[in-house]
Amino acid sequence: MSDEIFFAEDTDDEIEWQGKWKVLIVDDEPEVHAVTKLALGDFVFQEKDLEFISAFDGEQAKRMFLEHDDIAVVLLDVVMETDDAGLKVAEFIRNEVNNHFTRIILRTGQPGQAPERDVIINYDINDYKSKTELTAQKLFTVVISALRSYRDIIVIEENRQGLEKIISASADLFSIHSLESFIEGIVQQLASLLGGTKDTAYLTSAVVGPKPIEQYNCSELYVFTGRGEYQNTEGNRLEEVISGRELLSCQQAYANKTMICEDDYLVVYCDSKTKKGSLLYMSGLPRKLTETDKHLIKIFSQNVQIAFDNVLLNKDIEDTQREIIERLAESLEENFGSVNHTKRMIKICEILGRAANLSKEDLKTLCLAVPLHDIGKIRISDHIMLKSGSLDKEEMLQVRNHAEIGYNLLKDSNRPLIKAAALIARDHHEYWNGKGYPRGKSGEGIHIFCRITSLADAFDAMRTKRSYKEAWPLEKVMEVIVAEKGQQFDPKMVELLQQNIEEIESIMQSLTSES
């Protein structure tokens, strides 16, 4: 290890902290308060002076800790209303308030009353001084040391919180929500290492208005996540949230793929190996950045963009999977004359699933799987499927067999999505009262995916034109569905359909085409 690291100079004067250091004086003698304030009157540490708070007994001191959660140092008398009043306050701070940040300096005029060795061993305090030895200079030294410790502990805690966000996001890093947590966590850590920043924005071309991470090849930059001034600007264009010389710096950093650091803000380009890069913008910098700071920022920009690229890759895989399934379902639609049936089914199932409080993951699985609900019809002859008149008994049996056919086509997969699709294909014609097919399941014995699909499928079939019928008016459709509440359909699903009928009808109007 080099001497440069071993004997690095103290860099306290490089870091600026805002506000004041709160110092609580706890003593039953008013003269001690006055002398302490006089001795530390011109005290300044890292360009912050002291804010004194006074308490004259143990109970008042406890109240101060309930009212202030940012006391940096407490100068605590041991003997006040009782011989151990100060020790009880120390216990209260650590064990009841659960404050392990404040530096506790015990002061006593009667050292024999509370022996230093016993106190240090049995209580979580940071220093123990006799009042007679605390000259003005020694008091200054003790407070400086305590404030340095408090400062470092607070920085460590901020880093811990940032790391906690990253760890909590890592279990599901490739979802959009956890990516936001991941970036926010790293930004928080970075801001802490830099001494705190007021405003931060992470901007990328992969976020576009109502379709996040959809059109990531566009040339404009949008806010993906922000803090401070930019906290509620997600989805806004760069030019809408940043202006003046800061905007010019952003444009220059993006064009030249570089970092631009000014006195009060910085912009850093986050390079991407597969997509267009992104920008990290931070304003309200508390101090001039060192070379170490800039190195940390570069590491941040590289690793965040890698995570972002991974999300985009995962999204691309999911979109490809969804598109293949939907295109397969749409090819069946073209054969059987039910245009846009798949798109309507996805939207209606999404509305009903959300209203039924399905988890985010279950709702996603349902919407991906439901296009395959009629996959078994691929084995039913076009003569039957496109027949304009009524089906005879034999033809009806063949059509009903599509449920088992679809299940058999999909059942052997180990993929959760395909398993869900197999279940929906088989059971979406089961009835709540047990009189459906193919297996006569009933009530909640029918998976909720299938109960939702059953109602959505029936609603769409009645509301749209088919080769064998005209579209029914909404009033007639709802009359039939309400009559089948608790018979063919899950009563709760029927209620949810009624509650959301305006949104569903809007989808029907926008996606209904003449076949």
Catalytic residues: 377
**Do residues 111 and 120 make contact, with C-beta atoms less than 8 angstroms apart?**
no
List the structure tokens of 500.
């959301």
What's the sign of the alpha-carbon dihedral 67, 73, 75, 79? Answer: positive
Q: How many other CB atoms sit within 10 Å of the CB of residue 205?
A: 22
∠ CA 100-102-107, nearest 5°, is 115
Q: Helices 341-355 and 448-463 meet at what angle, rounded to 10?
A: 130
Beta strands in 188-298 (DSSP E): 199-204, 207-208, 211-212, 222-227, 259-261, 265-270, 278-283
DSSP character string of 301-330: HHHHHHHHHHHHHHHHHHHHHHHHHHHHHH
CA 381 to chain centre: 49
Q: Helices 491-499 and 448-463 meet at what angle, rounded to 10?
A: 50
CA distances to 224, 402, 450 from 378, in Å:
43, 8, 20
* CA distance linking residue 407 with residue 264, whole number of Å: 63
* CA distance linking residue 159 with residue 165, whole number of Å: 10
Kindly provide the b/e burial profile for residues 441-465, where b requires at least 16 CB atoms within 10 angstroms of the residue's own CB: beeeebbbbbbbbbbbbbbbebbbb
Q: How many other CB atoms sit within 10 Å of the CB of residue 136?
A: 12
∠ CA 199-205-208, nearest 5°, is 95
> Whose CA is closest to 275, among 313, 249, 321?
313
